[in-house]
Amino acid sequence: MSDFTPRPANADSDTPRPSHDHTPLADTKPTVPYTLPGFTPRLVATDLDGTIVRSDGTVSSRTVDALARVERAGAAVVMVTGRPPRWMREIATAVGHRGVAICANGAVLYDLHTERVLNSHMIEPDVIAQVVERLRGALPELRFAVEYPSGFVFEARYNLGRWDAEALGGRPVDDETLVSQGGTKLLAFHPGADPDSLAQEAVKAVGDLVTVTHSSGRGLLEMSAQGITKASALAEFCNGQGITSAEVVAFGDMPNDLPMLTWAGTSYGVANAHPDVLATVTYRTASNNDDGVAQVLEAFFPA
């Protein structure tokens, strides 16, 4: 199967994500093709951008074939991403419209076969209004957007750089309209902030109202309803399938993956991952550009 190119790679932020340039921690954990003897996962959960999506925005044929191998063995594959559902069509096509995806950092369950939203957890409008008010007071440089299952709205100052927000499915609105409807994610962009420091400040300001995370090298905050994470959605899905966390292997690269990587019984961070991810995971694998996830899956599921 040939490689395919999805929409701009960093759907978590509606802008492309560059390769991470974090300095790796000391290599103290086993790397691929290390797998647990006698263990075969019942479910594989993987992030997309920066994990199986390469820096050029493609997913390799090797990775697509490895995911298909998992399903042929009778295990499940769940894509767990910050992307909104509208950016999942190319992924659905690549995997033959099989399985489900958890989108928007856990807020949306999406059927890849029918390309329909199955379930969603929304941030209520009054909560969005409170969060925006607090963050404007604490960090006046922030610019806001609200994601819905089928699109997003943004204020005029929400500058996506060289990407046209309207072309990406967005609609400019005034301040009142911005907070008038519940959303799956509230996005807040600071043009000059370090993302880790920005997230820490946001947690102090609004951590009692929403779940705050980030997934890019820019100052972009991603906020979900309180308690909604990739882990909460994956646990809910697995409970419905009779699968325990010990039977799950998860892959990721950025802070928004940390709850999922902590919840899963076995976790892998790609070599290009954020330092916090590399410090948390059970094992490491090669980078997204070197098909690190495929390398592990080929070891777990021999041909």
Residues 5-58: tens digit of each pLDDT: 333 333 444 333 433 433 344 355 656 556 667 889 999 999 999 999 999 988
107 has a pLDDT exceeding 70: yes
Query: Quick one: pLDDT at residue 15?
Result: 37
* Residue 275: partners with Cβ closer than 8 Å, 6 or more residues away: 22, 23, 24, 25
Query: Where are the strands (E) in the chain, listed by range?
Result: 43-46, 76-80, 100-103, 108-111, 116-120, 143-148, 151-154, 170-172, 185-189, 210-213, 220-225, 248-252, 266-270, 283-285
Q: What is the pLDDT of residues 130-144, one digit of tens each?
A: 999 999 999 999 999
Alpha carbon distance 76, 145 (integer Å):
33
Q: What is the pLDDT of residues 239-265, one digit of tens each?
A: 999 999 999 999 999 999 999 999 999
Domain spans, the chain:
43-120+229-300, 125-225
199 has a pLDDT exceeding 50: yes
190 has a pLDDT exceeding 60: yes
Alpha carbon distance 272, 252 (integer Å):
10
pTM for the model stands at 0.88
Residue the block writes with tokens 């080929």:
298
Query: Quick one: pLDDT at residue 2?
Result: 37
Q: How many CB atoms lie within 10 A of CB 111?
A: 17
Alpha carbon distance 12, 87 (integer Å):
10
Chain centroid to CA 31: how far?
23
91 has a pLDDT exceeding 50: yes
206 has a pLDDT exceeding 80: yes
Query: Quick one: pLDDT at residue 259?
Result: 98
Q: How far is CA 126 from CA 181, 226, 259, in A?
A: 9, 13, 26
Confidence label for 149 from pLDDT (cuts 50, 70 and 90): confident
Q: Are 209 and 186 in contact (CB under 8 A)?
A: no
Q: Any idea which of 111-125, 149-163, 253-267 has the lowest mean pLDDT?
A: 149-163
Exposure b/e, 208-241, CB count within 10 A at least 16 = b: ebbbbbbbbbbbbbbbbbeebbbbbbbbebbeee
DSSP state for residue 117 in the 8-state scheme: E
Confidence label for 97 from pLDDT (cuts 50, 70 and 90): confident
Query: Quick one: pLDDT at residue 30?
Result: 59
Alpha carbon distance 269, 292 (integer Å):
9
Query: Quick one: pLDDT at residue 18?
Result: 37
Query: Quick one: pLDDT at residue 19?
Result: 39
Three-state DSSP string of 212-257: EECCCCCCEEEEEECCCCHHHHHHHHHHHHCCCHHHEEEEECCHHH
Is CATH 3.30.1240.10 correct for 125-225? yes
Q: How many CB atoms lie within 10 A of CB 121?
A: 19
* Closest to 278 (Cα-Cα) out of 31, 77, 100, 106: 31
Q: How many CB atoms lie within 10 A of CB 125?
A: 15
CATH of region 43-120+229-300, choose from 3.90.1300.10, 3.40.718.10, 3.40.50.1000, 3.40.605.10: 3.40.50.1000
Q: Are 186 and 212 in contact (CB under 8 A)?
A: no
Residue the block writes with tokens 């019984």:
265
106 has a pLDDT exceeding 70: yes
Query: Quick one: pLDDT at residue 44?
Result: 97
Q: Are 250 and 216 in contact (CB under 8 A)?
A: no
Q: Between helices 61-72 and 292-300, what is the axis angle to 10°?
A: 30
User: Across the beta sheet with 220-225, what order do the strands follow?
Assistant: 170-172, 151-154, 143-148, 185-189, 220-225, 210-213
